[in-house]
Each structure stands twice: as structure tokens, then as C-alpha cells.
Chain A
Amino acid sequence: MLRLISPPVVILLLLSGCRGPKAALEEGEWLPGGETTNTLLLGGNAFLRPAANLTPENEQDFYSGNSFFNQGWVEAPASTEKRDGLGPLFNARTCSGCHFRDGKAEPPEDGKAPFVGLLLRLSIPGEDGPEPDPVYGAQLQDQAIDDVPVEALPEILTTEIQGSYADGTSFSLLAPEYILHEPGYGDFHDELMVSPRIAPHMIGLGLLEAIEDSRLMDLADPDDADGDGISGRLQLHGDAQAIGRFGWKGEAVDVEEQSAGAFSGDMGLTSRLFEADDCTDAQTECHASMSGGEPEVEDHILDLVVLYSRAISVPVRRAADDPDVLRGKYVFGELGCGSCHVPSHTTGSAALPELEGQLIWPYTDLLLHDMGDGLADDRPVGEASGREWKTPPLWGLGLVDDVGGHTRFLHDGRARSLEEAILWHGGEAQASRDAFVALDARERTYLLGFLEDL
């Protein structure tokens, strides 16, 4: 296949004879999901494809699950009995409302409610760590069915922060602040803690679930014993000490818990894991509303949605062997990005046999890291402090724009580009961030080009 060189690359070629060192292309890098990788892409559908090696039976279930992921849940009672029970309080009517085409969400353009795709977690300090707000629960629902008051109308206010690279090029960042207007159930608690969370893209979740515990334990370095300034910590749950892999602070141990949690918290739909609607005692109208069944998401349907969420494939790299992409990969290594965004793993046993034994390239260690004051939400969850976040995977980043028509990144979507996302890094990543700022324009372009190829 003929490859042409794009204009910016041509300019760089002309300007400079020395173009910097390249990293080697490694075996398997083209296919970040191993044998499950989607090589068709199909434009804006790039995150909608089933794992390429899915059996015909599982592929049928995949499409069935997709239907419940993609199409609306409606208020009870409705003719579509399998699909009713929405609310009473909710953030979205469909899974795909936040995960549009299985992609990443963006903050509302005008900063005003409803915040589709960006939710606000709530808690107050308690004796044994943070607990849900007694009136408003564990997350703010800014939508409700008729006759039930919404919890509040949140708004984002932003402040612009100016900065510049070592070479003098300036940049600006947007720092968000969250205001809650018109509380629907009385004043908020004095010590209310609010943490914004953007809906991430849905690719490769079953593969992340299948990385062996022992691998993550090996990567963990809670006391920074190796003295590299990076102290990855596991989010652990319950007596079994299960590793939290999903959610921005590792709140859920597996795809099933994450999916059922989203049905419950985000859409107000009960399931076998969350049997009661997300109404607190103070929310009487919420309790009085009609149910769409016991549970509203039947077991069979939950299973289909979970299978679907596990089996969404990771897209192929588009230009893994491009010299400039390999130069970017070299910079990625030099800056130490890979200390937390660990490039590759091999999966162990998995919920779906198709996902087992795959060499995958998610660029994450699934561990908690201190990301500094700038990104801190000051709301601890389990093992995670108010400054720690779980390393998100980087695969698919370059297709977020094709799928969702935006380039908003980080846990609350504050970064308007990959470049801004890097510049927000602090805490354990401060040294890497500073090294990025010290790069010249050409090296920065290489790094961003590499990230965009993931």
C-alpha cells in the first residue's frame, strides 16, 4: 500500500537534517488487542466492533447486548416492558448517551446541566472514611422522571491558566470548578465532597479484566521501594482484597460490577447486584415512583450488556511503523510515561475464552498514583486518596475525535487536547510533565503523533 507523507512532516523534513532517535517496532504492537483487534475501523464506528475472534454464538449475544446498551430505557410503564424502569432519578437514558458510539464523553459545551456523560460523585467525611451524602446519595442525578425533583443543576465554571514551554511557546489550560444550583432536597452538607467523572471509552474492558492479579501486584510499589518517585498502589476491595480495575479510582472490581453500578447510579435501573432504586430516605417522590420490574434489568439482559462491554474490540494501530510515530514512541519512553502507562501485558484467564492469552497494549498499570494538586478532587475512595487516580489506558486515544467529534481528556474532560492532558500531569508525574515542557516543538509533535496512533 502506498503511503504519502503529510504536509507537516514534509516541512519538518526540510527544516532539519537530524530527526531524532526512533524506538523499534515491537512484535504485536500493530494489534493492541491481540487477536481481538478491530482492523476495519469503519470511521466513526471504530469503537463499535466486536472482538474479531468472537465465536458466532458470542457475537450474537454481543449484538443483543449492544441493543440494550444503545437504545433508550424508558419510564415505566411502557409497551417495551424489557426496557422500562428508567429513574426515578438518573443521569442518562441510555448507556450510549454517555458512551456515544462507545466513545469517551465530553463536558457540556455551555457548562450547564444536564451533564450528560459527566457525573458528580458525592460523599461526606465519616468515621470509617467517606460515606454517601445522607440526603443526596453517592452521586448527583441532575435528571428525573416527571413529578420527581432533580437533585440539583450543576454548572462548570472555568478559569484559564497560562503557561509556556521551555522554547517560549505559550499554552493555556482550563481549570474547572463545580457549582451546584437549586438543591432539590434541601441544603447540601457543609462538608460535601464532589468529584467529577467523565464517561470513558468502552474498548478492551474484558482484556483489562483479564490481566492477571499477580502482574498488577508485581507492578505495584506502594512505598516506592525502587526510589523512582513512582508509587503505584492497588485499589483493594473487601475481605477478598479484590483489585479495583474499573472506574477512575478503581471503584469496581470487574465489568459486571461496573455495568450494574452504572445501570443503578446513572440510569436508576435495578439489577441483581443493586436491588433498590438509588433513592435516599429523604427522597419520598423517588420511593413512590413505579418500578419497571424486579429487577428492572433482568439477569439475562444484564448478562448480555456485560458480555457486550467485555467484548468491544480495540482498534488497530494506523501507522505503528511510521518513522515519526516511532520517534514519538522513543520520546514516550525517554519521558518515563511508561512507568505508569505500562505499554503491554499478556492476559490470563478471562470471562470469555476469546480474550485469554492475548498480548495487549493498553498503556496502563491499573494502579493508583498521586497526580498532584492540579488534578486532585480531594475526595478519597477506599485506598485512593484525594490526590490519587488510577492510570487510564491510552489505547484508542487517537480515534476519540473520529468517534465522538471531540478531543477532551482526563477524568473530568478538562483537557482540550492530548497536549493539555500531559500538561495537567503533576505529583508522581511531575518530572515527566516537566520533561515534556522542556522538549522542542518537533519532539512534542512526535510524542503527540505517537499518542494519536494508539
Chain B
Amino acid sequence: MKTTRSLTVLLALAQVTACGGSGNSKVVANYAEIAEASYADSIETAETLDAAIQALVADPSEATLTAAREAWLDSREPYLQTEVYRFYDGPIDNPEDGPEGLLNAWPLDENYIDYVDGDADAGIVNGTDTIDAASLEALSGKGGESNVATGYHALEFLLWGQDFSDDGPGARPYTDYLTDGSGTAANQDRRGQYLTVASALMLKHLNQVYTAWKDGADYRSSFESDGDGGVEKILTGMIVLSGFETGGERLQASLDSGDQEDEHSCFSDNTHRDMVQDVQGIVNVWTGTYTRLDGSVIEGNGIYDVVKGVDADLAESLDAQITTSLSLANELQPPYDQEIKAGNAEGNARVQALIESLRAQETLLEEVFVAMEFSVPVVE
């Protein structure tokens, strides 16, 4: 039950009238187009991954496992660029039915899924529960909140296994999927079924978000007609992803803990790419430009153009800072677990530099938020 929120409405109305303009609605429309294209590209790579997973399960071999792993890595590139569409209760993470937790939650409760070092019988794979889409979705809610039985990192764990290597990722053998009696570990058939079902579920959840962003869809239309409310949401996503999520929750926390596996993609050692693509997503929104998988480019006005109209100096500072963040993200050396290791001064410094740049970027974005009167004015 909702209470009446007349004051919130009052403020929202005030904000709409504060700094409207058709220029900004073009920016919002271009943003929505990039969001749609980014999710479409995420689906395309997830479909390729799904086909590779089906090939692996049908005919497990070194070659089919390698192909599936490569397809997983490819699928991460466009998806991470969509993380900038989080944090304002949009299609990806609204509290009612946003599938973010089912798609990308971390850390993974890996022994909830399959065997781990020290417990050969762990997980749903080695249990007796039915493995189908409905049961995996239900089991993901079993902990009350998502305990991560699904999504990218579940697939990652099933393709790579736990990572016990200093200089490489996890090394699950393809024989974990052999069902002819010569396989390794138990329940190879159930493992294959889990992988297949989880992959299909991931596609379903990606499609749910894509559908909401599709041109003409209800969410897309209301987003585009929200005027400066749209700009406020866009900036909210950029601010929270820059500081709170990427700079803080992922980089700062892992650097502080120094734990080898306290990283976002810990089975595949792909965290360095996660960081690059998270920042790339911010760049896309900032510049209003997105290069699609097929090489075609969506170009339009970005948030840069909005800020330029408000405070040209601030726009240039932010442009420089976001560029710096992207180049610092690209300097991270794989594997990321070695970058954060205590004693690796150079690696630690590279992570620290990126954190500081992202924090500076967050601060500048907050200045934009204030300059555009999205913050609450205190008159005293």
C-alpha cells in the first residue's frame, strides 16, 4: 500500500519545470536507443553462448568447453556496458520484478550449485531436486533473497570451476560433463542440465529487460516523456555506478580484502574486463555514442551535451575525468586477483588509481546533479 506522496509529487513537478528543453529530450531518447541496442547485443552474445553450451553438453570435449568459455567471455562485454542502466529502479533492477539479482548477483554461493573443494556432494547438481527453469528460479529465492543459483556467474562457475591457480583461472575438466561413464565428478547429466537450464533462464531475463527498452514499449515511452526526470535517472545511474558500485563495492572492497578470489569474475579471471566495460558503459551514456557488435555506431547527443549547456567548464572536467577512468581501467593487468594481492605494489597502485579517478568522476557528476537542481535546495 502506498501513502499519498503529495510532497514528492510537488518536488517532482518543480524539477520538471526547472530546466526543461527539447535538447534534453533528444539526449534522453538517444540514451534509450543505446540502452535498447546494448541489451540487444547482450542477447545476441548470450544466444551464441547458449548454442556453445548446448554443443558442450551434447559432446563434451576440450574444444567444446573452450568454445563455451570464449562465448561466455564475449557475452560479458556488451552486458557490462548495460550496468549504467541500473540504480534508478528501471527495468533491470526495479524492486518488483527487475532481474538483476538473477542475472549478475555476486558473490556466488557456489556450493549451492555444485561440488567444491572439501565437499564433493554439495549443491543442487548433486542433489535430487528437479532441475528446470521453474525450480531454479524458485531455488534462487530459497534464501529469502537471491542466493545466486542463476545468471552469468553461475554459468561461469559451471564452465571454469573454482580457481586455485595463481596465474590462471579455474580449471574444471570437460569430463565433468561426460555422461558415458568415464566422466569426472558425479552427476554429469544433472550438471549439463543445470548449465543448459541456467543459460536459457539468463536469455529469458535479458529478454525481459530488452522488451521494456524496445522502441514503443511502455517503459521506454514513459522514460522518454519524463523530460528532465529522465536526465535525473541517467545521472543517478552514472553516479552510483561510478562511486558506489565500481569504485567502492568492487574495486575498493577487493583491494582492502586482498583475497585472491574477492573479485567479481573470480572463476574466469575476467574481472579486469568487467571494469573496462563498466566504465565504457558510462562513456557511452556520456558521449551519446555506442559501437554495436556488428560495428555500426549509434551517435547522438549525450549527457556531455546536457552538462555543456549548464556549465561548460564542468563538462570539460568531467570529460577529461571519464577519459582518464577508461584508460586506467584498460591498464589493469590480468589476472585481477594478482593485482589486488598484498605485496603487489604496482598492481595495487593501478587499482588505487582507478578507484581515485572513479571517485573524482562521481564527485563531478554530483556537481552536475546539484547544478541541474536535482538535489534538494536548502534555503536557510
Cβ B3 vs Cβ A407 within 8 A: yes
Near B by CB (< 8 A), chain A positions 430-454 give: 448-449, 452-453
Q: How far is the CB of A315 from chain B (nearest CB, A)?
A: 8
Q: Which of B18, B118, B122, B232 contacts A1 (CB 8 A)?
A: B18
Complex contacts, A453 vs chain B, CB 8 Å: 7
User: Contact: A79 with B236, CB < 8 Å?
Assistant: no
- A3 CB contacts on chain B under 8 angstroms: 10, 14
User: Which of B248-256, B295-303, B327-335 is the contact stretch?
Assistant: B248-256
| Given A9-B6, A67-B248, A93-B143, A416-B107 contact (CB < 8 Å) | no
Judge whether A80 and B266 touch: CB under 8 Å: yes
- In the assembled complex, the CB of A23 is this many whole angstroms from the nearest CB of chain B, namely 16
Is A146 an interface position by the 8 A CB rule?
yes
Given the complex, which residues of A lie within 8 Å of B4, measured CB to CB? 8
Nearest-CB distance from A31 to chain B (Å)? 7
* A100 sits at the interface (CB 8 A): yes
> How far apart are B100's CB and chain A's nearest CB, in angstroms?
13
- List of B residues within 8 angstroms of A40 by Cβ: 239, 366, 369-370, 374-376
> Of A30, A67, A100, which is within 8 A of B95 by CB?
A100
The interface residues of chain A lying within 8 Å CB-to-CB of B148 are: 72
Q: In the complex, which residue of chain A has the Cβ closest to the Cβ of B255?
A: A64
CB pair A67 B88 closer than 8 Å: no
Q: A78 to B369, Cβ gap below 8 A? A: no
A429 within 8 A of B: no
Q: CB < 8 Å: which of A6, A45, A63, A407 contacts B6?
A: A6
B244 near A: Cβ within 8 Å?
A: yes
A residues 45-101 in Cβ contact with B at 8 Å: 45, 48, 56, 59-64, 66-68, 70-72, 74-75, 77-83, 86, 91-94, 96-97, 100
Residue of A nearest to B96 (CB): A405
Say yes or no: A93 contacts B2, CB within 8 Å: no
Q: Indicate if A380 sits at the interface (CB-CB under 8 A).
A: no
B259 in the interface (beta carbon within 8 A): yes
The interface bits of chain B over 8-23 (1 if a CB of A lies within 8 angstroms of the residue's CB, else 0) are 1111011001100000
Residues of A within 8 A of B201 (CB): none
In the complex, chain A residues whose CB is within 8 Å of the CB of B8 = 318, 398, 402
Please tell me if the beta carbons of B249 and A80 are within 8 angstroms of each other in the complex: no
A451–B267 alpha-carbon span in the complex (Å): 48
Measured between beta carbons, the chain B residues less than 8 angstroms from A317 are 376
Closest to B10 in A: A6
Q: How large is the interface on A (under 10, 10 to 19, 20 to 34, 35 or more residues)?
A: 35 or more
Which B82-121 residues sit within 8 Å CB-CB of chain A? Answer: 87-89, 95-96, 105-112, 116-119
Tell me, yes or no, whether A225 is within 8 Å of chain B by CB: no
Interface size on B, residues (CB 8 A): 75
B109 pairs with A72, CB closer than 8 A: yes
CB distance from A356 to the nearest CB of B (A): 21
What string of 1s and 0s marks CB contacts (under 8 Å) between B278-310 and chain A? 000000000000000000000000000000000
Q: Which chain B residues lie closer than 8 Å to A300 at the CB level?
A: 256
Residues of the B chain whose Cβ atoms lie less than 8 Å from the Cβ of A68: 253
Report the Cα distance A257→B329, complex, angstroms.
38
Which A residues lie within 8 Å of B110 (CB)? 74, 78-79
Question: Given A6-B7, A290-B118 in contact, is the A304-B256 Cβ separation under 8 Å?
Answer: yes
* 16 further A-B pairs in the complex, CB-CB below 8 A; given A4-B13, A40-B369, A67-B248: A30-B378, A40-B376, A43-B233, A48-B240, A61-B256, A64-B253, A67-B252, A72-B106, A79-B107, A83-B262, A116-B144, A304-B256, A316-B376, A322-B10, A401-B2, A405-B95
Point out residues on B near A: beta carbons under 8 Å: 1-11, 13-14, 17-18, 87-89, 95-96, 105-112, 116-119, 122, 127, 143-148, 162-163, 232-233, 236, 239-240, 243-244, 247-250, 252-253, 256-257, 259, 261-262, 266-267, 355, 359, 366, 369-370, 373-380
On A, residues with C-beta under 8 Å from B are 1-9, 27, 30-31, 39-45, 48, 56, 59-64, 66-68, 70-72, 74-75, 77-83, 86, 91-94, 96-97, 100, 114, 116, 143, 146, 290, 300-301, 304, 316-319, 321-322, 325, 398, 401-402, 404-407, 416-418, 448-449, 452-453
* Interchain residue pairs with CB less than 8 A apart (21): A6-B6, A6-B7, A27-B380, A39-B378, A40-B376, A42-B239, A44-B89, A45-B87, A48-B240, A66-B248, A67-B250, A71-B249, A77-B117, A79-B110, A81-B259, A82-B259, A92-B144, A93-B147, A100-B95, A316-B375, A321-B379
Shortest beta-carbon contacts, A-B, top 7: A63-B248, A67-B253, A116-B144, A6-B6, A79-B261, A97-B145, A80-B107
